[in-house]
Amino acid sequence: MTFLRVSLAALILVIMIFISYFDWVATPTPKPNTGVASQSATETARPSEPPRKKKIRYSKNWSGAVNTEPPSGYFAAAGMRFTVPKTLRPDIVKGNSDYYAASAWVGIDGLTHGTALLQTGVTIEVNKTNSEEVTYVPWYEWWPNIAMRLDIPIGGGDEIEVEVVMFNATSGKILLWNRSKGDWVARALQAPRPDAKLAGRSVEWIVEDFALSEGGNVPFGDFGVIELRDCKAHTSTDKVVGPDPSQPFYIRQDNLTRTNTSVEGQSVSIQYLTTTKF
């Protein structure tokens, strides 16, 4: 009996050790609290931001993209590249007029600031009173002053880079560079009058059916498709942003949609609609 009691006690001890071993193996060792969450925990905990709903904005003269929300500070510079079209056909709505045109430009403060706009770009035009050929007019403007022509040669198919810079409310700079030919021109500018101050509230990448001095819009030449590339804006706090994809601008005149705009990353594509949409 003594032997059986000893053997039974030994057996119970072995079973308890066996169970304790597996209980230790199955229980994970707690990690030290370093105050830094693991990557997987961080990914899970990060709230997902729903994409902003696309809202098409119609304009009588603008097609393209804007950004009205600097992440911090204010917009201090904006730029882009584009290839000027080799051909320009007459306005599909207004017919074969003697003059028709379109203009591609980048600007600061064109949308939300009513007292000033700094912009530079290229106008593509046909003036049949002079020639049947397409001509290209580089220009800059600190609105409300009139646009001023830049003396730099541009031909069909040339790649153009444009930039506007706001130093402060009353001074800035424009740059236009013909990357295909290697020519460039820059202008340091001052506000044309005391109340024409920049604020850096918005930036724009636009193809425009611009207004005539006598009223109305110029006959809008058919450019096909213009791709605005490397559309970037820099803020006063050194942040870099692109166009806002949630609010593309379409040109709409007399209940007819004249352009289609798509925004992908830093690219803005503007298509001239040869079949107008109501």
Q: Are 46 and 38 in contact (CB under 8 A)?
A: no
Helix (H, G, I), strand (E, B) or coil at 24: helix
Q: Are 190 and 171 in contact (CB under 8 A)?
A: yes
133, 208, 214, 264: the catalytic one is 208
Report the distance separating Cα 170 and Cα 193, nearest Å.
9
Report the distance separating Cα 160 and Cα 182, nearest Å.
10
Report the distance separating Cα 79 and Cα 234, nearest Å.
9
Tell me phi and psi for residue 265, to 5 degrees.
Answer: 60, -120
Nearest Cα to Cα of residue 88 among 225, 212, 206: 225
Q: Are 259 and 273 in contact (CB under 8 A)?
A: yes
Report the distance separating Cα 137 and Cα 121, nearest Å.
8
- Those residues whose C-beta lies under 8 Å from the C-beta of residue 15, and which sit 6 or more positions away, are none
214 has catalytic annotation: no
Between CA 212 and CA 156, with CA 270 as vertex, the angle to 5 degrees is: 75
Which residues are known to be catalytic?
A: 208
